[in-house]
Amino acid sequence: MERNTLIVAMAVALAGFSWAVSAQVVAPAAPAKSVSKAKPAKAKASEAKSVEAAKTVEPAKPAGFIQDGAALVKAADWNKMETVTVELGEYHFHPMDLKLKAGQPYKIELKNVGEKHHYYTAPEFFKNVAWRKLMVNGQAEIKVDYVNALEVLKKPGQLDIYIIPVNKGTYTVYCTIDDHREKGMEGTIIVE
């Protein structure tokens, strides 16, 4: 059977926060054979169940990330959430080191007070938290299960992350732009 490959690329930009997603879709080149329009009632019911089941299937999380994050987020008391503000500037985080408690819901406000874009990258930490959402200056809310890196665009960029640290440990956080890390944009996140 001959196949055509369709590449779909989508870029979303929300108030300076951008994501890129691509997917490959394979479709048969020949049209499907025609079938009778009349279907037995049982087929329609089973089709409806299949469609409903497809809607509720969650994609698998990448290896190494918290697998039950959605359940942890749902069970958390977000009224007891603590807010922590981290400023990103030329070539520092303030505070450089964060101390968080495992199991405690947090809103971490990442505020770029600098003249350049900055990343807040903590790959091992990001794998060890339950993610609720990201918010862009109250203009966009993005529901997420996991994140690899966060970029906060230059002043007055702000990105709020809603998380629950799960696993205790000491994690490195740094900026991956140019030589920012070498110039001092590196700190730690300690989860007790």
> Does a structural domain hold residue 60?
no
Is the separation of the CB atoms in 61 and 44 below 8 Å? no
> Does a structural domain hold residue 57?
no
> Does a structural domain hold residue 13?
no
Q: Is the dihedral of CA 18, 152, 183, 86 positive or negative?
A: negative
> Does a structural domain hold residue 26?
no
> Does a structural domain hold residue 14?
no
Domain count for the chain, please give it: 1
* Percent of the chain that is helix, strand, coil (3-state, to 5): 15, 45, 40
pTM: 0.69
Instruction: Give the domain CATH number at 91.
Output: 2.60.40.420
Bridge pairing between strands 106-112 and 82-89: parallel
Which of 76, 121, 79 is closest to 102 using CA atoms? 76
The first and second tokens of residue 56, run together, are: 């509720």
> Does a structural domain hold residue 6?
no
What's the rounded Cα separation, in Å, for the pair 79 and 125?
Answer: 23
Chain centre to alpha carbon of residue 75? 19
Instruction: Give residue 167's domain range.
Output: 69-191
Q: What is the pLDDT along the chain (192 residues), one digit of tens a residue?
A: 333 322 222 222 333 333 332 223 233 334 444 444 444 455 555 555 555 554 555 566 677 888 889 999 999 999 999 999 999 999 999 999 999 999 999 999 999 999 999 999 999 999 999 999 999 987 899 998 888 889 999 988 999 999 999 999 999 999 999 999 999 999 999 999
> Does a structural domain hold residue 54?
no
pLDDT at 29: 39
> Does a structural domain hold residue 157?
yes
